[in-house]
Amino acid sequence: MNESKFKIVNTNLKGRSLVANKVIAIDEVILEEAPFVCSQFSWNKAYGYLACENCMLPLETAEQNVRRLAFDPSIILPFPESDPVIHLQQKFVQCQECSLKFCSTECLEEAKFKYHSIMCHALKPNQPFDSINEIWKKMHYPPETTSLLLILRIFAMVKLQPEYLNVFGEFCDRSKNDDLRICHKILGKKFSEQLSNLHQALIQLFQGEEILSRFLTVEGFTQLFTMIGTNSQGIGTSPFANWVRNVSELQSLSEKQSKELDEFIDTVYATFDNTVGTFLNNEGSGLYVTQSKINHSCKPNAEIRFPFSNSKLQVVALREIKPDEEICISYLDECQLDRSRYSRQKYLQENYLFLCDCEKCQEEVSQADETSDDDVNDGDDNMDTDDD
Note whether 338 binds Zn ion by CB under 5 A: no
- Listed ranges 25-33, 49-57, 212-220, 221-229: which one lies at the site for Zn ion (CB under 5 A): 49-57
Q: Which of 107, 156, 268, 329: binder of Zn ion (CB under 5 A)? A: 107
Which CB sits closer to Zn ion, 54 or 65?
Answer: 54
Query: Cα separation of 76 and 243, whole Å?
Result: 13
Q: How many CB atoms lie within 10 A of CB 43?
A: 18
Q: Which helix (H) or strand (E) holds 239?
A: helix 239-248
- Listed ranges 42-50, 82-90, 96-104, 279-287: which one lies at the site for Zn ion (CB under 5 A): 96-104
Smallest distance from Zn ion to CB 329, Å: 12
Q: Which of 298, 304, 317, 383: binder of Zn ion (CB under 5 A)? A: 298
Q: Which of 39, 54, 237, 291: binder of Zn ion (CB under 5 A)? A: 54
The CA R_g of the chain, rounded to the nearest whole Å, is 22
- Listed ranges 48-56, 154-162, 216-224, 320-328: which one lies at the site for Zn ion (CB under 5 A): 48-56
Which CB sits closer to Zn ion, 268 or 298?
Answer: 298
Note whether 120 binds Zn ion by CB under 5 A: yes
- Listed ranges 26-34, 68-76, 238-246, 350-358: which one lies at the site for Zn ion (CB under 5 A): 350-358
- Listed ranges 6-14, 60-68, 117-125, 163-171: which one lies at the site for Zn ion (CB under 5 A): 117-125
Q: Which of 30, 51, 52, 77: binder of Zn ion (CB under 5 A)? A: 52
Helices 218-231, 148-160: crossing angle, 10 deg rounding: 110
Residue 255 sits at the vertex; the CA angle it makes with 251 and 75, to the nearest 5 degrees, is 85
- Listed ranges 5-13, 102-110, 176-184, 217-225: which one lies at the site for Zn ion (CB under 5 A): 102-110
Smallest distance from Zn ion to CB 7, Å: 23
Smallest distance from Zn ion to CB 265, Å: 27
Note whether 358 binds Zn ion by CB under 5 A: yes
Note whether 38 binds Zn ion by CB under 5 A: no
Distance of alpha carbon 56 from its chain centroid, rounded?
Answer: 11
**122-156 burial code (b ≥16 CB/10 A, e <16):** bbeeeebbeebbebbbebbebbbbbbbbbbbbbbb
> Contact 147/155 with Cβ under 8 angstroms?
no
Distance of alpha carbon 48 from its chain centroid, rounded?
Answer: 18
Smallest distance from Zn ion to CB 95, Å: 3
What is the three-class DSSP state of 67?
helix
- For 385, half-sphere exposure in the C-beta direction (CA atoms, 13 angstrom radius) is 14
Pairing of strands 176-177, 182-183: antiparallel
Smallest distance from Zn ion to CB 288, Å: 17
Output phi, psi for 286, to 5 deg.
-150, 165
Query: Cα separation of 11 and 21, whole Å?
Result: 16
Question: What number of chain residues touch Zn ion (CB under 5 A)?
Answer: 14
Note whether 98 binds Zn ion by CB under 5 A: yes
Q: Which of 95, 167, 211, 280: binder of Zn ion (CB under 5 A)? A: 95
Which CB sits closer to Zn ion, 191 or 308?
Answer: 308
What is the three-class DSSP state of 187?
helix
Which CB sits closer to Zn ion, 315 or 356?
Answer: 356
Query: Cα separation of 205 and 133, whole Å?
Result: 12
Query: Cα separation of 199 and 112, whole Å?
Result: 26
Note whether 356 binds Zn ion by CB under 5 A: yes
Contact residues for Zn ion, defined by CB under 5 A? 52, 54-55, 57, 95, 97-98, 103, 107, 120, 298, 356, 358, 361
